[in-house]
Amino acid sequence: MMLNICCLKTGSSRLFSTFGFICALIFVLGMHDVQAKDWIYTTSEGDTLWDFSKKYLHHVKYWSSIQKINNVKNPRKLQINTHLRIARSGINT
């Protein structure tokens, strides 16, 4: 009976250790998202910078800035799976 109590205590401390580690990991990963300054958009078939600007930035006038920042060669036909970097401050939700 004494052996069972010792094993229970050891298992319990492992559980709390693991729980603490998971909580710390979630906290650190959560901080990363808060500190992110850019949003990455992955293009899909048919995307253009005009449509992207209108949909996510609520005005088409921003397409040329996105083109320059992301070195987009053809704003009328974006390659599928291209990653566009957009400053979070420019996003209108």
Q: Where are the domains of the chain?
A: 1-35, 38-90
The per-residue pLDDT for range 27-85, each reduced to its tens digit, is 555 544 434 688 899 999 999 999 999 998 888 999 999 999 999 999 999 999 999 99
* Nearest residue to 82 (alpha-carbon basis) of 50, 37, 42, 49: 42
CA 15 to chain centre: 30
pLDDT digits (tens, 9 = 90+) for 56-70: 888 899 999 999 999
CATH code that applies to domain 38-90:
3.10.350.10
* pTM of full prediction above 0.75: no
